[in-house]
């Protein structure tokens, strides 16, 4: 819960002062955390090493920085997708590498290497061009003749100024219908996905007689499938965008495979819903593996579009990204484990797939009917529209 509140606070501070400070704090706290692991003499050190993690919001800072600096929707989607790809690759390679180092070098070696990496990363971000600090404000009506926009003045840091900025940002997020629709789809999808993910360890032993090594292999398999899916979508999406743009210029219908953003989201929701349904029918390990592939691929199609939408629609990008990550963290780490455990124990593992599939129906119907439109006033394909600027305003 503290980390969730810290996420919202960090997002607000990035809107006020830029991303560099959050990056530096993130890597310093990471270095301290790993140093405590490396120097640990008893279990209390390991518990105390969790305290610095409250300040680790590097992924949030990266998303906000890229949202600020992306010049087009297409670039925002690509950069944010690459960030998720790198994160997934790290989650795939890191545990295996850490295990090998612990077994063949020293039990403390992974923590030592991570500590050094955090220090190097901290020194690297000191040279980062601070997106928030370089943001410009549009001239007022009295300054319309000015040739250049002046840098935005940084507000004085106080509890009142932070709370005021947070309230303004929340109001701005709530005032954009398309952004509300994006969060509606995101959060229902997160609930459904988190239920299935958290139920797997519970069901692995009780329903599939799977030990720790088998569960580890299953999680690694899911991570690899996610990385492959992410890379494939990032490689194919530019071709889809180009085909639709060429068709618009020529005044002809786009190819059937060149889907609009809304159609891509609907396709992703349909795929993941089918995966959850397959999960509810899984009776063997092979069935489970096949269902997981489908469940992993679907969210990639949805997330690559919705992350780009948050980047382009949000006026206060730090706060909008922090809401996305904070609510997601609560759903994954607090709500889903208890709900998944209850479903498995009371109704059986199959009920998790059925409940998750039913939850996916809601955003699918909402988007398909137009009630929750994720478009921003155009047809969703205006990839050349500017994104950047601290507040996401289009430059004149």
Q: So what's the pLDDT on residue 223?
A: 78
pLDDT digits (tens, 9 = 90+) for 33-88: 999 999 998 889 888 888 888 788 888 888 888 888 888 777 888 888 888 888 87
User: What is the residue range of 4's domain?
Assistant: 1-72+106-132
61 located within any domain = yes
88 located within any domain = no
- Cβ partners under 8 Å of residue 273, min gap 6: 298, 357, 360, 361, 364
Please check whether residues 227 and 287 belong to one and the same domain: yes
pLDDT digits (tens, 9 = 90+) for 315-373: 899 999 999 988 888 888 777 888 888 888 888 888 988 999 999 999 999 999 999 99
Please check whether residues 114 and 203 belong to one and the same domain: no
Q: Provide mean pLDDT across the span 256-275.
A: 91
β-partners of residue 151 are: 136
145-149, 201-205, 314-318: segment of lowest average pLDDT: 145-149
Kindly state the percentage of the chain with pLDDT values over 70.
85
For the chain, how many structural domains are there in total?
2
- Cβ partners under 8 Å of residue 229, min gap 6: 296, 297, 300
Query: Do 186 and 314 touch, CB atoms closer than 8 A?
Result: no
147 located within any domain = no
118-127, 247-256, 288-297: segment of lowest average pLDDT: 288-297
383 located within any domain = no
Q: How confident is the model at residue 378 (pLDDT cuts 50, 70, 90)?
A: very low
Highest-pLDDT range among 159-163, 231-235, 266-270 = 266-270
CATH number at residue 203: 1.20.1250.20
pLDDT digits (tens, 9 = 90+) for 159-178: 888 899 999 999 999 999 99
Q: Provide mean pLDDT across the span 216-232.
A: 79
Q: So what's the pLDDT on residue 172?
A: 93
Q: So what's the pLDDT on residue 144?
A: 39
Q: So what's the pLDDT on residue 137?
A: 35
Q: So what's the pLDDT on residue 293?
A: 82
Q: So what's the pLDDT on residue 387?
A: 53
Please check whether residues 7 and 123 belong to one and the same domain: yes
Residue written as tokens 């139920």? 199
Please check whether residues 225 and 127 belong to one and the same domain: no
Q: How confident is the model at residue 211 (pLDDT cuts 50, 70, 90)?
A: low
Please check whether residues 210 and 111 belong to one and the same domain: no
Q: What is the mean pLDDT of the chain?
A: 81
Q: How confident is the model at residue 153 (pLDDT cuts 50, 70, 90)?
A: low
**pLDDT at residue 287 is higher than 90:** no
Please check whether residues 112 and 214 belong to one and the same domain: no
314 located within any domain = yes
Of 225, 223, 205, the residue nearest 213 (C-alpha): 205
More confident residue, 150 or 372: 372
pLDDT digits (tens, 9 = 90+) for 81-121: 888 888 877 777 777 788 788 888 888 899 999 999 999 99
Please check whether residues 10 and 125 belong to one and the same domain: yes
């Amino acid at each position: 819960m503290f980390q969730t509140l810290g996420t919202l606070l960090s997002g607000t501070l990035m809107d006020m002062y830029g991303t560099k400070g959050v990056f530096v704090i993130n890597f310093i706290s990471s270095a301290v955390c790993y140093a405590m692991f490396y120097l640990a003499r008893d279990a209390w050190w390991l518990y105390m090493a969790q305290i610095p993690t409250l300040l680790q919001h590097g992924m949030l800072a990266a998303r906000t920085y890229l949202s600020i600096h992306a010049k087009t929707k297409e670039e925002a989607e690509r950069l944010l997708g690459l960030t998720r790809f790198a994160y997934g690759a790290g989650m795939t390679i890191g545990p295996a590498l850490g295990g090998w180092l612990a077994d063949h070098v020293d039990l403390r070696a992974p923590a030592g290497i991570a500590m050094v990496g955090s220090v190097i990363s901290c020194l690297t971000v000191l040279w980062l061009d601070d997106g928030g600090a370089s943001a410009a404000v549009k001239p007022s009506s009295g300054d319309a003749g000015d040739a250049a926009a002046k840098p935005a003045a940084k507000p004085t840091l106080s509890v009142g100024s932070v709370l005021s900025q947070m309230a303004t940002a929340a109001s701005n997020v709530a005032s954009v219908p398309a952004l509300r629709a994006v969060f509606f789809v995101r959060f229902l999808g997160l609930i459904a996905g988190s239920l299935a993910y958290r139920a797997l360890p519970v069901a692995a032993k009780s329903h599939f007689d799977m030990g720790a090594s088998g569960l580890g292999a299953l999680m690694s398999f899911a991570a690899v499938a996610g990385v492959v899916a992410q890379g494939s979508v990032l490689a194919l999406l530019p071709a889809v965008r180009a085909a639709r743009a060429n068709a618009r210029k020529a005044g002809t219908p786009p190819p059937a495979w060149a889907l609009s953003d809304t159609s891509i989201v609907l396709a992703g929701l349909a795929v993941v819903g089918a995966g959850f349904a397959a999960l509810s029918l899984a009776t063997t390990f092979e069935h489970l593996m096949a269902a997981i592939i489908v469940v992993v691929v679907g969210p990639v199609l949805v997330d690559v579009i919705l992350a780009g939408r948050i980047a382009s629609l949000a006026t206060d990008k730090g706060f909008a990204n922090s809401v996305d990550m904070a609510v997601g963290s609560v759903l994954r780490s607090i709500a889903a484990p208890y709900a998944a455990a209850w479903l498995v124990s009371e109704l059986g593992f199959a009920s998790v797939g059925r409940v998750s599939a039913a939850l996916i129906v809601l955003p699918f119907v909402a988007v398909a009917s137009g009630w929750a439109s994720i478009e921003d006033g155009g047809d969703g394909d205006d990839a050349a529209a500017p994104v950047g600027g601290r507040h996401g305003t289009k430059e004149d």
